[in-house]
Structure 1
Amino acid sequence: MNILIPSYEPDERLLFLIKQLREIGSFPIVVVDDGSGEAYSQLFISARGLGCTVITHNENKGKGHALKSGFRYFMQKGVTDGIVCADSDGQHLPQDIMRIASSIEEHNHPIVLGCRRFTGKVPFRSRFGNTATRLVYTFATGKRIYDTQTGLRGYSADMLDWLCRIPGERFEYEMNLLLEAPAAGYSFHEVPIDTVYLDHNKSSHFRPIIDSARIYAPFLKFSISSLSSALIDILLLALIHFFSSSLLLAVLGARLTSSIFNYTMNKRFVFDRDKPSAIRISMPKYFALVILILLLNYGLMHVFNERIGVPLLVAKLLTEAVLFIFSYWAQRKFVY
């Protein structure tokens, strides 16, 4: 077993955790000082004195970058045992860290997640944040994870190269990892752990607005792209229907134009920036999806508008809302 602890401006709880782990065994512990500065140097010197390897960043680069620094270190060392990632603020108990380590050995190539149950007095931002990201993750992948924001995770050594290629340098990295895992063929195994919050989680360096925006960025970018495409679609639908009085022609013309715009936006800015796929691969998949959504779009609008009698614009908005989540899930999973 190997333990990786990313740390930024820690307190004595980091050393207390290391001492507790040292009482359990002599396994390697790597601590990444993510640019904490001179004021915290003595803590990291003490960590070295306790037998830890300390990797130092000259400036704060973010939790994702710190984790990747640790993963690269383990790759260079050629480790073959599992790696457990834990936070330095006292939220992860030694016994839970050991349970994650055992689960890595017991299960075949899953990502092991230490899942908090959020019982008792849990800070509002922690409860709300996890609920929100859990919903976003379910919408994006069609899969359910109870604790998407857990920092206590376990990986097998053969995942290290993949872990270093996941985009994101700060808190969004861990969410990106969960989003990328299913497509990479990795499953999840959830292990219940104790929920520990000290001083209402004041030691957390999570910035609610900036870091939340980073975490939700893929979904937000998709929303903006889809909204822009929908506006083009709606305007063309109204224009074509006004001049032709044909619902089918209006749906076909509007969707063809808006889908070309949407494909370009999603390929360049939403899904495909960090690992570009060939147009000859992604475009056929995308337009196959367009055809499927087009059929669903026409079918739903026919029901809403011509069967139920809902006004055309309202029927269009209802249809787009129904197909929005399906489209995001399908594009992330199958197209890009």
Structure 2
Amino acid sequence: MREPINRGVTISTPVEQRTWLVVPLFNEAPVVRAVVEQARATFPKVVCVDDGSSDASVAEATAAGAIVVRHPINLGQGASLRTGLDYAMRDPGADYFVTFDADGQHLVDDALVMVKMLDSQPLDIVVGSRFLDGRTSVSPLKRVVLKLGIVFERLSTGVRLTDAHNGLRALNRHAAETIAITQNRMAHASEIVSEIGRNDLRWAEAPVHVVYTDYSRSKGQSVWNSVNILSDLFLK
């Protein structure tokens, strides 16, 4: 069994200081400053990958204290995650990496629990699941579509997750280096699940609360987003 990699960081260094939050960013100016400020109260290292925003997202994220890496054109969330992970892994003191949404849907407390799981257990990746407790309210139609997606992922990858398209994930350095993300857009989530199985990564799930707001719904967090994920996969 592979043992945790010693990166030369003393064990007394708090796990929060050995973690980077990787935040894809596209036209989230109304909320990203508050999201980053709240995140940095726990995790001081945050990299936002601006994916060709046309609003004030870069200025707002920078004002909140994030490092901002920019794509000159819109490439998609999968590309943003790969860029952010590559940037964060340049830090030799970084052991863990969290993929975290810019629109306020994810909770910092959930991310911290997941990172501590990596730090205390023989795991490579922890995936958030909105179906492991009762905190997340999901419409009946969206629940059906997400459950169909779960069945598809289990059959195609052999990885038996309960929430295959949750964007809150915590990875150790081995997982961040190993997982290939070639799907630039929303199908990257399915690709990550496939990479977990293909590379025999040690995984677990953690219950998380996905906060659906009027703002996040206005950004396209609807049942059709789940349909688009499956379309991306079949059109690959």
User: Is the structural similarity TM-score above 0.5?
Assistant: yes
Distance 1:204 1:107 in 2: 36
Range with bigger deviation, 195-204 or 149-158: 195-204
Alignment of 1:1-336 (within 5 A): 1-25=19-43, 27-37=44-54, 40-41=55-56, 43-117=57-131, 119=134, 121-124=137-140, 126-163=142-179, 165-199=180-214, 201-204=217-220, 207=225, 209-217=227-235
Q: 1:100 to 1:129 in 2, by over 3 A?
A: same
Distance 1:189 1:16 in 2: 29
Q: Measure, in 2, the Cα distance between the counterparts of 1:121 and 1:115.
A: 12
Distance, in Å, in 1 between the alignment partners of 2:72 and 2:229 is: 21
In 1, Cα distance between the equivalents of 2:25 and 2:178?
A: 22
- 1:166 Cα shift? 3.2
The letter of the residue matching 2:90 is Q
TM-score, structure 2 length as denominator? 0.80
Q: Is the 8 A contact 1:89 1:204 kept in 2?
A: no
Change (3 A) 1:36 1:88: same
What amino acid is the match of 1:85? Answer: T
Contact 1:11 1:89 in 2 (8 A): no
Partner of 1:76, secondary structure, is coil
Give me the whole-angstrom Cα distance separating, in 2, the residues matched to 1:126 and 1:209. 10
Q: How much is the aligned-residue C-alpha RMSD, in angstroms?
A: 2.3
Write the deviation string for residues 18-53 of structure 1: whole angstroms up to 9, x where unpaired: 12123335x21000111112xx23x32132122210
Q: Is the 8 A contact 2:51 2:73 kept in 1?
A: yes
5+ residue gaps, structure 2, are 1-18
Q: Deviations over 1:258-292 (max 9, x none)?
A: xxxxxxxxxxxxxxxxxxxxxxxxxxxxxxxxxxx
**Letter paired with 2:162:** Y
Secondary structure in structure 2 of the residue aligned to 1:171: coil
Aligned residues of 2:158 and 2:197 also touching (Cα < 8 A) = no
CA separation of 1:194 and 1:210: change in aligned 2, threshold 3 A: closer
Larger radius of gyration: 1
Q: Say whether the 8 Å CA contact 2:50–2:58 is kept in structure 1.
A: yes
Q: Which residue of 2 aligns with 1:315?
A: none
C-alpha contact (below 8 Å) 1:79/1:157 kept by paired residues: no
SS, match of residue 31 in structure 2: helix
Change (3 A) 1:144 1:201: same
Secondary structure of the corresponding residue to residue 41 of structure 2: helix
More strand by share: 2
Normalised TM-score (structure 1):
0.58
- Deviation of residue 126 (structure 1)? 3.5
Match of 1:234 in 2: none
Percent identical pairs in the alignment equals 23
List runs of 5+ in structure 1 lacking aligned partners. 219-336
Local SS of the residue matching 2:219: coil
Amino acid at match of 1:28: K
State whether residues 116 and 195 of structure 1, in contact with CA within 8 Å, keep that contact through their aligned partners in structure 2: yes
Change over 3 Å in CA distance of 1:104–1:12 after alignment to 2: farther
From the superposition, tell whether residues 59 and 162 of structure 1 become closer, same or farther in structure 2 (CA, over 3 Å).
same
In 1, Cα distance between the equivalents of 2:78 and 2:198? 20
CA 1:204 to 1:97, structure 2 compared with 1: closer, same or farther past 3 Å? farther
TM-fit CA distance, 1:195: 3.2
User: How many residues are paired up?
Assistant: 213
Give distance in 2, aligned partners of 1:78 and 1:157: 10
Cα contact 2:37–2:65 (8 A) shared by 1: no
How many Å apart are 1:94 and its aligned residue? 1.7
Letter in 1 for 2:72: N
Q: Distance in 2 between matches of 1:214 and 1:169?
A: 10
Task: Name the CA distance, whole Å, in 2 between partners of 1:204 and 1:108.
Answer: 36
In structure 2, distance between residues paired with 1:95 and 1:210: 29
